[in-house]
């Protein structure tokens, strides 16, 4: 314990240690040290660090420097303007048998529309619109621009105002962009996309009703992943340094909708699609050449089990008459990952037509979309929050000042002793 007590004395400023550590050593030799002694030394050491005069000076100086740097940094950041429009969705037929506490058809309808509007195809169309040409100077691929645009869009389901009729609700369409006119035009384009998707959806519903069967629609086609999903985090990047131990995995995903279906039906379809026969055909497909290395050393059954572990089928949302779900596949080759997801999508559609082609669907509630508030033309930038950034810089400076002050005092050579000289 005496050794620990001596070690704890490192918490004291170097000047203090140069002056008093011999005496405290002698005292510890006389009294001995226990846990209480160590705690007492530690508490007094920390208190001494914070009560010395240079600590607040340094903290204030670095705090001010952080404030200035934070302010300067925030000025360098490009301004972002946010445009907002409010839309209203109204169900044309309200199913009174469904309790709102359990199932809110409006939320379901908006979610479905949002998924379709934020699909790669729709956003890519808006990005490439010659009037907009969004993100054109960023030097990134279309897929990257789509992902960036998804981050810049917000769809906020707002509480329906009391003035709205029953079966109606409102949601905001928000978009942020460095050019305020383009921000406004993009929100207008998104509203148009909402209307188009809604009309297409209703037409498809009518035709599906005539056909009297459940059907799978691809809302978002299989993506071509740009970066390995297991390299996106810091831990992923670190594991990347270990090379072959943790090979890069790309995840491709598609979003499907089973109209006039239930989650149980999706489950049944998944069992069919991920059956041994189906996966075995995929693994043996000479165009895909999946798991070649594994097949050299492992039996086909085990490779199929491995493949099952790399396939993800996740339910996004279940409604009374349709279900949204994603199909994803992880593989070291991104092109093969996409091809497999495309093949799985085809298999889901085939399985659906084989398994659920006779049941008559219920009539689906239609919806009307209209605009409550047109896209605003922002006058002031919404981002960056310059004051917040400057304050964060100041706070960081103060923390840094405290740390530097402590480290500096721990390392000052004992020669610089400015405490009172010892008199006879």
Least distance from other proteins to the Cβ atom of residue 29, Å: 8
Q: Any contact of residue 295 with other proteins (CB under 8 A)?
A: no
Say how far apart CA 35 and CA 91 lie, in whole Å: 71
Least distance from other proteins to the Cβ atom of residue 42, Å: 7
- Interface stretch with other proteins, choices 36-44, 80-88, 171-179, 383-391 (CB under 8 A): 36-44
Q: Any contact of residue 380 with other proteins (CB under 8 A)?
A: no
Please, which residue, 403 or 419, has the CB nearer to other proteins? 419
- Cα diameter, the chain: 109
Binding other proteins by CB under 8 A: which of 14, 16, 81, 173?
Answer: 16
Q: Any contact of residue 55 with other proteins (CB under 8 A)?
A: no
Say how far apart CA 263 and CA 324 lie, in whole Å: 9
Please, which residue, 40 or 294, has the CB nearer to other proteins? 40
Say how far apart CA 142 and CA 374 lie, in whole Å: 28
Binding other proteins by CB under 8 A: which of 36, 166, 287, 411?
Answer: 36
Say how far apart CA 280 and CA 285 lie, in whole Å: 8
94, 167 contact by CB (below 8 A): yes
Q: Any contact of residue 35 with other proteins (CB under 8 A)?
A: no
Pull the structure tokens for residue 148: 């960036």
Q: Any contact of residue 24 with other proteins (CB under 8 A)?
A: yes
Please, which residue, 48 or 392, has the CB nearer to other proteins? 48
Say how far apart CA 8 and CA 10 lie, in whole Å: 5
Query: If we measure between CA atoms, which residue out of 397, 381, 355 comes closest to residue 266?
Result: 355
Q: Any contact of residue 49 with other proteins (CB under 8 A)?
A: no
Q: Any contact of residue 43 with other proteins (CB under 8 A)?
A: yes
Side-chain-facing half-sphere of 356: CA atoms under 13 Å: 22
Q: Any contact of residue 10 with other proteins (CB under 8 A)?
A: no
Buried b (16+ CB within 10 A) or exposed e, 79-117: bbbbbbbbbbbbbeeeeeeeeeeeeebbebbbbbbbbbb
Q: Any contact of residue 3 with other proteins (CB under 8 A)?
A: no
* Total binding residues toward other proteins, as defined by CB under 8 A: 28
Binding other proteins by CB under 8 A: which of 37, 198, 223, 339?
Answer: 37
Least distance from other proteins to the Cβ atom of residue 152, Å: 55
Binding other proteins by CB under 8 A: which of 14, 28, 127, 337?
Answer: 28
Least distance from other proteins to the Cβ atom of residue 43, Å: 6
Say how far apart CA 286 and CA 289 lie, in whole Å: 5
Enumerate residues 6+ apart whose C-beta is below 8 A from 101.
none
The mark string for 402-421 relative to other proteins (x by CB under 8 A, - otherwise) is -----------------xx-
Q: In Å, what is the CA distance from 296 to each residue of 281, 283, 299, 352?
A: 17, 13, 8, 34
- Residues forming the site for other proteins (CB under 8 A): 5, 16, 20, 22-28, 30-31, 36-37, 39-45, 47-48, 419-420, 422-424
């Amino acid at each position: 314990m005496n050794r620990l007590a001596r070690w704890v004395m490192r918490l004291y400023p170097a000047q203090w240690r140069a002056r008093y550590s011999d005496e405290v050593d002698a005292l510890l030799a006389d009294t001995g040290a226990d846990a209480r002694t160590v705690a007492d030394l530690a508490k007094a050491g920390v208190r001494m660090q914070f009560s010395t005069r240079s600590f607040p000076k340094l903290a204030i100086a670095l705090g001010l420097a952080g404030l200035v740097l934070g302010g300067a940094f925030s000025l360098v950041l490009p301004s972002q303007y946010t445009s907002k429009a409010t839309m209203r969705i109204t169900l044309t037929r309200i199913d009174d048998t469904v309790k709102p506490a359990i199932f809110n058809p409006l939320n379901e309808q908006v979610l479905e529309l949002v998924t379709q509007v934020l699909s790669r195809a729709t956003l890519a169309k808006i990005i490439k619109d010659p009037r907009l040409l969004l993100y054109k100077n960023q030097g990134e691929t279309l897929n990257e621009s789509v992902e960036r645009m998804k981050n810049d869009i917000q769809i906020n389901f707002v509480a329906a105002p009391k003035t709205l009729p029953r079966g109606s609700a409102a949601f905001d369409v928000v978009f942020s962009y460095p050019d305020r006119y383009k921000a406004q035009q993009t929100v207008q384009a998104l509203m148009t996309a909402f209307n188009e998707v809604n009309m297409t959806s209703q037409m498809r519903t009518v035709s599906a009703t005539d056909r009297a069967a459940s059907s799978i629609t691809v809302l978002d086609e299989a993506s071509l992943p740009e970066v390995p999903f297991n390299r996106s985090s810091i831990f992923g990047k670190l594991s990347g340094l270990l090379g072959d131990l943790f090979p890069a995995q790309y995840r491709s995903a598609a979003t499907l909708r089973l109209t006039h279906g239930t989650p149980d039906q999706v489950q049944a379809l998944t069992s069919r699609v991920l059956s041994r026969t189906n996966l075995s055909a995929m693994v043996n497909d000479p165009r895909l050449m999946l798991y070649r290395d594994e097949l050299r050393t492992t039996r086909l059954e085990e490779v199929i089990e491995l493949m099952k572990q790399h396939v993800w089928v996740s339910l996004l949302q279940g409604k009374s008459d349709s279900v949204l779900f994603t199909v994803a596949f992880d593989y070291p080759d991104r092109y093969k990952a996409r091809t497999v997801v495309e093949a799985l999508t085809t298999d889901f559609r085939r399985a659906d037509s084989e398994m659920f082609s006779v049941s008559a669907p219920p009539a689906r509630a239609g919806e009307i979309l209209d605009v409550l508030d047109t896209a605003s033309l922002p006058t002031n930038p919404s981002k960056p929050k310059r004051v917040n950034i400057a304050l964060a810089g100041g706070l960081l400076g103060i923390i840094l000042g405290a740390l530097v002050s402590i480290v500096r005092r721990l390392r000052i050579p004992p020669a610089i002793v400015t405490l009172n000289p010892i008199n006879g």
